[in-house]
Chains A and B, each alone.
Chain A
């Protein structure tokens, strides 16, 4: 594969896949809702936490200047906490995706790719598949 061809469907044979049918399956619905139920709340929480930090810096500088140990103050610790939570959420998401998303996604993908392989093995069917797929 490769070259300048823009015909993804031709190159990857996805014409043999009924995406609408897959979309309706409970398994795909489960994958989609698991993904969305994780990414939306977690992202909104992280953005709210960042916004809170910025608002504190702008409107509560006295609080931010309170020393905690030595000259290290609340503001510095909150900033470092932003870095720590970013690392933590990253690790959390990867663990979640590896355990909860990837197995379902690869099951669906493997079945669809088996269907592509089967249709490629039957040349008459492949030849009749529409090739004028719009470029992607």
Chain B
């Protein structure tokens, strides 16, 4: 199909591709993964099976699952779209998501695997007072998961408008409900094992699909990156798309705002609860290390693909056409698929994008459910002595509740800025979780008061700054139109809330008259580095 025809096609408000093909391919994905999830679930007997997949995955498998968990629809559709629309700045944005993994590799993954059991709170409360620290860690876990879930569910709504030709709010709400219901079934039946397999399959499909399109785009340009860039510039009629500044350099505020976003991405990744929980699904710290290595390679290669796809979309489709398409910037990757391989490739890429949302949402849900059942119900409410089997019963009920909340929230958030919701989740994770993770692993003197000040201080400051930002009020694209209480000029709170949380952790500790049990500190330090007494894989 030539560009002119496509242009016409979009302007008349119809959709590229065939919704029937899109739905059939997606249904095939759901059917295959459901069979795998049901088979995987037969061994779900204990909490370690349900939350941590019996700790039986290899480093390679878990690395693929981490990539599947981490590369959300915001990464795939969002970054390709950002490069297609704003050129270099989209690429600049993607780099932070990769560099962030060094924090996870060097500081967190292995030590966490050695000391914890199921959740982030296991590690944070190891040598501090159980109840208050566990409650705080569970709250920050639930908040991060909630924002991330909202982003994914809102993304599902936007995606269908583009891919299935469903424009009205009722139709989109039905699709969000279907996505939520599928996710509940996956997580309820499959637990962590089923979730992991969905993520592995999705990572494979996503990376393979992106690879095919990348090679295709490069082949059209004689496998010469410079030729591709030239044709992107020719279509855009603007050489500035090869330079930084189109999005994050438009004003001094925008520059600082991007610094703030970059800080949240780099420091938030290693503190995302659903990423941390994945480290418990492998048998040893060495396998946790291998998982991160696999994840870094897969994610890094994927962002190389998105660079080519973004400029490919800019060259072959053009920013104007993308902006006018339903879904806007998010439609760059699907439109490129259609341009390259017609309705069939579009159907495949659309199904992969849906699978992406499903897999990420499943990972978030099991993390939130584990945190509620393990940290709040079993450890705090039942004081570490729940009736046999009751913790998993609570976890499964929580899955259903979270699923319903995600559906309702997703319908409510439909149309909200997805990239902003994802950035908010990273900012909250970096502010509320990372300082306490680092302090409790590496600072002997750290106390309960320091942890609480840092976690609540980071959480509250990040959310309050967002509420007072131009995203919520006082700008044209604000959530609350007409009102203006935006006293904080940045859309990203990280540059203030992250240093503040580190400061509060230090201050809370040095002002604390109480000290923690030194025996617990010895135990945590020795266990974290040696793996003595680390949870073993369960054998079936």
Contact = CB atoms under 8 A, between A and B. Distances in A.
Contact of A136 (B117, B266, B391, B538): B117
B258 interface: yes
A127 interface: no
A64 B258 CA distance: 17
Given A20-B518, A58-B249, A28 B526 contact: yes
Q: Max chain A CB contacts within 10 Å: which of B225, B243, B530?
A: B530
Nearest to A115: B532
A31 B107 contact: no
A77 to B, nearest CB: 11
A61 B117 CA distance: 47
A73 B244 CA distance: 11
Nearest to B285: A105
Contacts of B536: 1, 12
A26 to B, nearest CB: 14
B68 to A, nearest CB: 19
B388 A3 contact: yes
Given A2-B47, A72-B225, A61 B248 contact: no
A6 B95 contact: no
Interface in A1-47: 1-4, 6-9, 12-14, 17, 19-20, 22-23, 28, 31-32, 35-36, 38-39, 42-43, 46-47
Contacts of B529: 28, 31-32, 35, 101, 105
A71 B233 contact: yes
B46 interface: yes
Given A109-B532, A136-B117, A1 B233 contact: no
B283 to A, nearest CB: 13
Given A4-B390, A39-B107, A135-B379, A109 B531 contact: yes
B243 A65 contact: yes
B522 A20 contact: yes
B390 to A, nearest CB: 7
Interface string B390-432: 1110000000000000000000000000000000000000000
Interface residues of A, number: 69
A29 to B, nearest CB: 11
Contact of B224 (A54, A70, A79, A116): A70
Contact of B532 (A1, A14, A69): A14
Q: Max chain B CB contacts within 10 Å: which of A38, A109, A112?
A: A109
Contacts of B519: 19-20
Interface in B481-540: 518-519, 522-523, 525-527, 529-536, 538
A6 B384 contact: yes
B304 A83 contact: yes
A119 to B, nearest CB: 12
Nearest to B393: A4
A86 B300 contact: yes
Contact of B106 (A19, A39, A79): A39
Nearest to A16: B533
18 contacts: A1-B538, A2-B46, A4-B378, A12-B534, A19-B519, A22-B530, A23-B522, A28-B530, A39-B107, A50-B262, A50-B266, A54-B92, A54-B258, A64-B243, A73-B243, A83-B300, A86-B101, A105-B530
Given A32-B529, A72-B225, 6 more contacts: A6-B384, A35-B529, A50-B99, A75-B244, A79-B95, A86-B99
Interface of B: 45-49, 88-89, 91-92, 95-96, 98-99, 101-103, 105-107, 116-117, 122, 126, 130, 224-227, 229-230, 233, 242-245, 248-249, 255, 258-259, 262, 266, 286, 289, 292-293, 296-297, 300, 303-304, 378-379, 384-386, 388-392, 442, 518-519, 522-523, 525-527, 529-536, 538
